[in-house]
Structure 1
């Protein structure tokens, strides 16, 4: 059923569920930590215009004990799928969507949408793809070749002026660009904003996060672009393959979860409300 409802987003869901390992959501998953699977079946329930997740006949609760609910049926199905993938033990670190939902519902740090958008915008000043190698070497060539087309597309898409830097002066970001990007982010609801923050924190790049959300690049491509220097140094000096692969998969899972969270909380075609049918 999840596959039929999500359609074109299925590849992102698969990445999210397959590689979920170490989300930075310590608060949200703490309540579910290290316990045996106590349920046989997972499901969703439509109630009062929103969707709840069930474990057998029990309704899922947040870490604070609040009722766990979402307004998007596909998101509810994806959360249920996270719980269904738990085999013998419940491993909270594999459930990024559950953690994101719980963070929004409980809001443990009492953050407003303005707070979260301001936090996102701080990443723009240190955006990964705005800092090119200071020496015109092979790394410089790779970064320029891979990052410049993304930055050019981004500036054209959002009609902003941003220039990367290869010196200590830092990138040039116009005040108008900051205002435009803030307005763009503020147009989303607080649920979607949490998704943006989660993906952008993983990528360390506002530009890659928004470009991925606009579907100009895939999650896998966004992660690869965010790790260009690491990939370059690894090929040059060697690396521990299992650690490298684990880190890459973890980042892909977090970015996929964040972007999917944006989609499922902002697209009218994906949010299914049945209030009129009740």
Structure 2
């Protein structure tokens, strides 16, 4: 029988109005990208490609993306200004890659969505997002282990314990491990250290960090990605130890493949986003 993961704890309604008992999270940009008076990063209606040229230009202390010379805006109508040229160019490349007259699909614009969410959702609710992200450490995937079979116990230990050891060394956060379905209260000191680690990130980096945490079920995995301790592939494998074990033991099915691919794509987007922020990932 498949092991059930530890329950998530969080506020009854977070930035996106999460269900009671779930960890609240910033809502993704609504709908598919579209255009209003100027190019808009996302809108409620799906639209076909309406522009011919994409470009990047300096804007204040950052860079903005242009579609046919018009600055791209977030769903909240803020001009999408990015702190690094490399991130702006990557977002421009997402839009350039939309086939001519094809429908614009937000799922194919992950960097755009992370940037827009950071500006629209994280900036005005930064402290709330920090708290909700840090709460994941209280029920981190890496802290809940199977009791049987021994092969799975070993896989989890080998994949997860080095990451917990790294978190203790890097942040001074020693998280406790539980076996079976027992819930464990994590030390306040460890939770505080990890909250500080989350709070050290800029608004845009926090957008990616939250999504990595939510997707993987582990704040430690997300921080390891942000710090360069884990690659995208390594993070995806660590987040899906149980799932991959089940595949090896019982075989695969289309729904499971689709789910794993979705997790891998989300983690890859967050990893690339943080890397493209370069030295602008941390505050100060």
- Secondary structure at the aligned position of 1:27 is classed as coil
Out of 183, 187, 191, the residue aligned to residue 204 of structure 2 is: 191
Q: How many residue pairs are counted as aligned between the two chains?
A: 245
**Structure 2 length-normalised TM:** 0.78
| Counterpart Cα distance in 1 of 2:207 and 2:270 | 8
Note the aligned Cα RMSD (angstroms). 2.4
Structure 2: runs of 5+ lacking an equivalent: 1-26, 33-41
- Secondary structure at the aligned position of 2:249 is classed as helix
| Counterpart Cα distance in 2 of 1:146 and 1:268 | 30
Deviation digits for residues 192-235 of structure 1, max 9, x if unmatched? 11110011111110111111222122111111111111111122
Compare the two structures and name the one with the higher helix fraction. Answer: 1
| Counterpart Cα distance in 2 of 1:253 and 1:268 | 23
Structure 1: runs of 5+ lacking an equivalent: 1-23, 271-278
Deviation digits for residues 82-111 of structure 1, max 9, x if unmatched? 11111122111111111122122223x885
Deviation digits for residues 5-31 of structure 1, max 9, x if unmatched? xxxxxxxxxxxxxxxxxxx72427451
Deviation digits for residues 88-139 of structure 1, max 9, x if unmatched? 22111111111122122223x8852211111111211221111100335321
Q: 1:189-268 alignment to 2 at 5 Å? A: 189-240=202-253, 242-265=254-277, 267-268=279-280
**Structure 1 length-normalised TM:** 0.79
2:106 aligned residue: 92
Q: Aligned pair in 2 of structure 1 residues 41, 110: CA closer, same or farther (>3 Å)?
A: closer
Q: Does 1:81 align with 2:84?
A: no
| Counterpart Cα distance in 1 of 2:147 and 2:51 | 55
Contact 1:32–1:92 (CA<8 Å) still a contact in 2?
Answer: no
- Secondary structure at the aligned position of 1:267 is classed as helix
- Which has the higher relative contact order, 1 or 2, with Cα contacts under 8 A spaced 6 or more apart? 1
